[in-house]
Amino acid sequence: MLNSCETGTSHARDLFSSTAAKLEYTVPAVVAMQFAVTDKAAVLFSRAFYQALAANRPVDEAVRTGRIALRADKDDSLECFTPVLYQRSGDARLFDFTSLRKPTPPQTVVEQLNGEEHDTQAEPPTPKTDRSVPRTSQSVPHTGRRAPQADRPAEPSHASRPPTAPSPDLTPRQEIDTGHWVVSMAVHPSGRLFATGSRKLVRVWDVITGQPTWQRRLGGWSTMVNALAFSPGGDSLAIGSTDNLARVWKMTTEASPLKFTHRHFVNTVAYDRSGRLLATGSADATACVWDLCTGSRVLSLRHARAVKALAFSPDGCLLLTGSEDRNAYIWDTETGRQEAQIKHGDFVLGVAFSPDGRTVATCSQDHTAQVSDTQTWTPLFRVEHQGGLRAVAFSPDSSMIATGSEDGAVRVWRTESGQSLLALKYNRSVNAVAFSPDGRFLISAGEDKVVHSVRVPEADR
């Protein structure tokens, strides 16, 4: 590591005269600065860059992560364009921290509570290098398959009240300017509110007035709110962020949130239909299920690489996870057994169960989304975008799916056939898509800082 400004600056008559270009003859990859860089920018970039490398990201993706950190710190600054990458090797993955581990998800740990008391600040998952199984745990092999059980009785919600019914004939504003990149989004069960997550900030908005009604700020120099989910009853909001925490805030009180700790970024959160269980997925390569009544971890599912997305089946019997190992997995939530595996060509960044439980949707950085049958787990069809897909969602009646892409495209497809029903294009990457609870509107948001609401023509037929 050579800490020096302008190491990427070359002479006008010799493009290969820079320090970085000379180093490239002997070093596989060189990250350099084209211009003088401020101390603050150097710290922000380095911290994000090396954190990404430690998370087993390719060097080009690590540079992109560093640039995002600079852009997130100050939107109107051009310092995010100062770092450049010189790469001699064709393979951008400089290190492989998982070569000693099997590529398939390893051990599953089902926690046996045995009536013990647990702190609401839940303990982090067992380190991947520790092969021992705690006395209160049992290891479960990845065998067998069980289809979703529609007749399984629902657990009583920890909120002790029924889910909020969607408001009839609710028409949201077409555009709401949030002023920040929207990294994550969730729609309230009533349809009257939605939540957005960005750098350091979580806000809940009124869809009619376009004004924020609730907000919380997170600490940290550039903590990103990676994931949001409202509880089925609508009284709680779960948040996953880059400070390695998942938080559950009660919307009706000023009490401190419940906190659940991972060893790396929390990328995704999801409630089961009872509202008693919360699933979290992390860059530490684990997906965990927590009991919100006791604050204890009841299930830990270890993957080969970072977990980017997850969703419970409607009956709560299964958990669908998407990983950077290019696969989506279906797990039995009672035994922790792996039931099936869905393959993609790149990171799986979004997953969803249809509300009727008959299909699942997965989307990937490989530019495709896939819909699979839950009886056989075979693909029904695939759809494709021009860029990597960031998000996927089903309509409430399961008849449509929506996809959002890093190229700014949002599309709606018919679930049965894959027929395209609606195509939209925005200027920046789309990070989140969701249908309104009544299914009449498609809501999307991303790096253009605007939450867009569009009427779905098919919903009116």
**What does the pLDDT read at residue 429?**
94
Please state the domain count of the chain: 2
**What does the pLDDT read at residue 325?**
95
**What does the pLDDT read at residue 240?**
97
Domain match, 83 and 218 both:
no
DSSP string of 237-297?
EEEEETTSEEEEEETTS-PPPEEEE-SS-EEEEEE-TTSSEEEEEETTSEEEEEETTTTEE
**Structural domain includes residue 100:** no
**What does the pLDDT read at residue 249?**
95
Measured CA to CA, the distance from residue 156 to residue 277 in angstroms comes to 11
How far, CA to CA in Å, does 295 sit from each of 123, 164, 312? Answer: 10, 24, 19
Last residue of a domain, which of 87, 122, 140? 87
**Structural domain includes residue 2:** no
- Domain of 335, in residue numbers: 108-460
Give the pair of three-digit tokens for residue 204.
């809940």
DSSP string of 62-100?
HHHHHHHHHHHH-TT--GGGSEEEEE-SS------TTTT
**What does the pLDDT read at residue 85?**
77
> Are 176 and 372 within 8 A, CB to CB?
no
**Structural domain includes residue 359:** yes
Domain match, 124 and 54 both:
no
Measured CA to CA, the distance from residue 80 to residue 351 in angstroms comes to 31
**What does the pLDDT read at residue 142?**
36
Q: How many residues does the chain have?
A: 461
> Are 316 and 274 within 8 A, CB to CB?
yes
Per-residue tens of pLDDT for the chain, all 461 residues: 556 666 656 655 555 556 666 565 567 778 877 777 778 888 888 888 888 888 777 888 888 888 887 777 666 567 776 777 777 666 676 766 654 444 444 456 655 443 333 333 433 333 333 323 232 333 333 333 444 443 333 333 333 344 455 656 688 999 999 999 999 999 999 999 999 999 889 999 999 999 999 999 998 767 899 999 999 999 999 999 999 999 999 988 888 999 999 999 999 999 999 999 999 999 999 999 999 999 999 999 999 999 999 999 999 999 999 999 999 999 999 999 999 999 999 999 999 999 999 999 999 999 999 999 999 999 999 999 999 999 999 999 999 999 999 999 999 999 999 999 999 999 999 999 999 999 999 999 999 999 999 999 875 55
What is this structure's pTM?
A: 0.71
Domain match, 174 and 271 both:
yes
Measured CA to CA, the distance from residue 435 to residue 401 in angstroms comes to 9
Burial of 440 (0-12, 13-18, 19+ CB in 10 A): buried
Phi, psi of 81 (to 5 degrees): -95, 0
> The domain that contains 189 carries what CATH number?
2.130.10.10
**Structural domain includes residue 13:** no
Domain match, 182 and 230 both:
yes
